Each structure stands twice: as C-alpha cells, then as structure tokens.
Homo-oligomer: A and B are copies of this chain.
Amino acid sequence: MASRSTQILEAAARVIARRGVRGLRVEELAAEAGVSTALIYYHFKDRTGVLRQTLEFISGRAERYTADRDPDAPPLAPREELEESLLLELQDTAEVRENSSAWGELRASAVFDEVLREDLARSTLVWVQEVAALLGQVRPTAPAPSLAAAAERLTALLEGLSMRWLSGGVEITHARELMRGAIDAELAGLATPRKN
C-alpha cells in the first residue's frame, strides 16, 4: 500500500512544484504517477485528500533532509544542530527546490482556499516547536515564550527567503548568509533579555 500511495504523493509534489496547486488535476496526476484515477480516488478520496496528504508528505520529506545524519558521524553541538536544521532548507538541490516550491505553493493557495489552512497551521506549528526546542538547547535559560517567538520568526524568515531564492530574487549563498545572521541575532536576543 505504502509504495503505491507514496508514488502518487511524489508525483503530486512534482506537479505542484512545477505547475502550482491550481495546476494539479487528478487526471494529470494519474498520468504523472503512472496509475489510474480510480486508484487515486481509492487512496485519497478526492483532490482535497491528495492535497492534504501531499502537504504532510512534503513536511515529512523536509524533516528528513534537515535532520537525517550519518549515524556514525559525531553528534552535533546544539548550535550546529540548530543551524543545520534551518540551513539545510536552503540547499540548491533538485529535492529541496521541488519541496520548497511545493510548500510555498500550498501556503500561497491557502490565501484563497480555506481547505488546507488547518493542516498547514498544524505542520507549521510542529516545525516551530522543533526549532524552539533546538533554540532551547542552545539557550537553556531563555523563557519558553521567547524561544517560541524566535522560532516563529526564524521559520517565517526562512519561508520568505526561500520564496525570494526560488523566484530568482536572491542567490542561495546570500540567502544562507542572511539566515545565519538571523540565527545569530535571535540567539543574542535570547542570551540577554531585551529591554524593550
């Protein structure tokens, strides 16, 4: 079961990254995945089901390529782990480009279409909590609301930079530099309680 539905989700991510959410039609998805439309309806009920599962699939994939490490590699220091988790979203590889384009598209489509909003909010929350936990490992005495706010800013900035990069507005190396600067600024803010 997993293999057939994964194949469909991989195709859906490709189609969304290439033509946008509005370009995703079940017939074309079937052709792209090399399956029948009936199989798509069987696994996902309807187009909305495909979109929701694709969102989850994309989040899972991002989590994998930002967290997966060689099990024999020495463990990372908390700060390195934080940087890696954010900077690996800004890699010029086919997989990251596709994943980030599809994510940006799903986010943009939620402005017009309410159907994905709840799933998107949930995925974003999980991501924010992960980044907040990594920040907390670097700054164990920082209060939880400050960690959460810093994580919300870093992830929203990453989305903004990612869209600029994918739309040709900024070079990937520069986007990574900017992201590193933001991590520094947030960690500095978490080390010394801000006055106002």
Count of identical protomers in the assembly: 2
Q: Flag if B153 contacts A156 (CB, 8 Å).
A: no
Taken residue by residue from 97 to 119, chain A's Cβ proximity to chain B (1 for < 8 Å, 0 otherwise) reads as: 00001001101111110100100
A22: chain B residues at CB < 8 Å are 20, 22-23
A34: chain B residues at CB < 8 Å are none
Binding site of A, secondary structure by majority: helix, strand, loop or mixed?
Answer: helix
Q: Does A152 contact B (CB under 8 A)?
A: yes
A163: chain B residues at CB < 8 Å are 107-108, 111, 159-160
Q: Does A144 contact B (CB under 8 A)?
A: no
A23: nearest residue on chain B (CB-CB)?
Answer: B22
Count of A interface residues, CB-CB < 8 Å? 48
Name the interface residues of A155-196: CB closer than 8 Å to any CB of B. 155-161, 163-164, 166-170, 177-178, 181-182, 184-186, 188-189, 194, 196
Q: Does A31 contact B (CB under 8 A)?
A: no
A109: chain B residues at CB < 8 Å are 20
Q: Flag if A104 contacts B110 (CB, 8 Å).
A: no
Q: Does A142 contact B (CB under 8 A)?
A: no
Partner of A169, one of B117, B157, B160: B117
A39: chain B residues at CB < 8 Å are none
Taken residue by residue from 137 to 161, chain A's Cβ proximity to chain B (1 for < 8 Å, 0 otherwise) reads as: 0000000000001101101111111
A189: chain B residues at CB < 8 Å are 181, 184-185, 188
Known contacts A108-B163, A160-B158, A163-B107; is-contact A114 B185 (Cβ 8 Å): no
Which residues of A approach B to under 8 Å, CB–CB?
A: 18-20, 22-23, 101, 104-105, 107-112, 114, 117, 120-121, 124, 149-150, 152-153, 155-161, 163-164, 166-170, 177-178, 181-182, 184-186, 188-189, 194, 196
